[in-house]
Every structure is written in C-alpha cells, then in structure tokens.
A and B are shown apart, each in its own frame.
Chain A
Amino acid sequence: EVQLVESGGGLVQPGRSLRLSCAASGFTFDDYAMHWVRQVPGKGLEWVSGISWNTGSTGYADFVKGRFTISRDNAKNSLYLQMNSLTADDTALYYCTKALGRWGGGYWYFDLWGRGTLVTVSS
C-alpha cells in the first residue's frame, strides 16, 4: 500500500527539541523529493521544509530557519524533521508529504500525504 506514516509528535516544553519521523512505503522513496507541511488546528496550511531525492537540496520556511533540520535516509525509506528551540507557535499537526519529481525543475505538487503527527509545545 502506498502510504506515509508520521510519528514522533507529542507534548514538549518550550525551548526543548523533538524529532519527527515519516515512514514511506509502496513507492520508490529515493525517486522523489519529500516535504513537511504543518497546520495549526482550525487554521491554514504552512510549508515547513523540503528535501530533494538525494539530499542535495533543502529548503526551509523563514520561521524555522536555523531551528529545524530536514533529513532523509533512503535506505530506510524514512524522512525526518529535527526541531529545536520549540515555541508555542510551533504547535501544529505536521504532515509528511511526497512531491512529484526529485526537486524543482518542472511542474510538481504534493501527491501523497500522511495523516499527520501532532506537536504541542506548552509548559
């Protein structure tokens, strides 16, 4: 079955760290760019970060630059998001998403989404 399954969310205190994981299955993981998109409950979608098929290119939203690091392990069909210095504004449902294509270079879109993992930052 083609799917993405996120894990690693939970309740964390402000200033602490959390690492999200995404397990991919049912497709050739190392052929595609992968991204994280978040959504505050009841609010809109925010792109967080993306990584190319071979880790050669990455991108980050301004609000996470210097705090979050995206990575992937193609041997394990897994995507990660290391989140440091968390604040209450980072409280959201974090979706792992697959992009069409390897990274840029043409028309692409998010064509597969996980169900999300909830991160709550609170003391």
Chain B
Amino acid sequence: DIQMTQSPSSLSASVGDRVTITCRASQNINNYLNWYQQKPGKAPKLLIYAASSLQSGVPSRFSGSGSGTDFTLNISSLQPEDFATYYCQQSYSTPYSFGQGTKLEIK
C-alpha cells in the first residue's frame, strides 16, 4: 500500500504570506496526486489534480508541482478564505490513500 505523508501537520501564517505544503508518497506515483481543501463542517473541495493542474474556478494563487514521490502545494499570497485544512491524495493505485492533512491557521 502507498503511504502519503504531509508536512507540516499544522502551519501558522499571515494574510499575504506565501505558503508551501509538502506531500511525500512511499513509492513512485508518477503525477497521480490531487490536493483538496476542507473547511470546518464542509466536504473537501478539489484544488489541484494530476499534481499541477488547477481545477476550474480555483484561484491562480494556488499551484502544485512535483512528480514521482515528492509534491508541493503552494499558495502565493494567503487570503482570509484560505485558512483551512489541506489534504493530498494519490490516485495511482488502490487503496487510494490521503495524507494526514495540514491545518493552516491564522498567525
């Protein structure tokens, strides 16, 4: 089974900051990597698919990169609505695992 490890688990930042969240797969998943954002009491929302493709309607301040085992999610200039929990998910093979999440909090 493929294990997905995110870091950090939590992060404090200010509006306007640039933030990077990393996700590491326990084996090569090419670029079968998705990123989701979840706000309290809500279902997750897709941000990035195939490691670097921005989902329609998602602001361009979000970007993804990586391939193989190491991936990053970048938010170029944090907005108040970006404070949430972020998850990576591999779509390479079953079981389709998620990372443990990164909670982004306001500093």
A47 near B43 (CB under 8 angstroms)?
A: no
A2-49 interface (Cβ within 8 A of B): 35, 37, 44-47
Proximity string of chain A (48-67) to chain B, C-beta cutoff 8 Å, 1 when within and 0 when not: 00100000000111100000
B43–A107 CB distance below 8 A: no
Interface of B is mostly: loop
Q: For window 69-107 of chain B, which residues contact chain A by CB distance below 8 Å?
A: 87, 89, 91, 94-101
Residue count of chain B within 8 Å CB distance of chain A: 23
Interface size on A, residues (CB 8 A): 22
Could you say which of A44, A50, A108, A116 has the most chain B C-beta atoms within 10 Å of its C-beta? A44
Counting CB contacts under 8 A, is A111 at the interface? yes
**Cα of A111 to Cα of B89 in the assembled complex, Å:** 13
B34 lies within 8 A of A44 (CB): no
Contacts of A95 in B (CB 8 A): 43
CB <8 Å contact, A59 and B95? yes
Whether B101 pairs with A47 at a CB distance below 8 angstroms is: no
- Nearest A residue to B50 via CB reads A107
**Distance of A10 Cα from B31 Cα, bound (Å):** 38
Q: Cβ of B100: which chain A residues have Cβ within 8 Å of it?
A: 44
A-B contact pairs, 26 of them (CB 8 A): A37-B98, A44-B98, A44-B99, A45-B38, A45-B87, A45-B89, A45-B98, A47-B96, A47-B98, A50-B94, A50-B96, A59-B95, A60-B94, A60-B95, A62-B1, A100-B49, A107-B31, A107-B53, A109-B34, A109-B49, A109-B89, A110-B34, A110-B44, A110-B89, A111-B46, A113-B43
Residues of A at the B interface (CB closer than 8 Å) are: 35, 37, 44-47, 50, 59-62, 95, 100, 107-111, 113-116
8 nearest A-B residue pairs (beta carbon): A59-B94, A113-B43, A107-B50, A109-B34, A109-B49, A44-B101, A45-B98, A47-B96
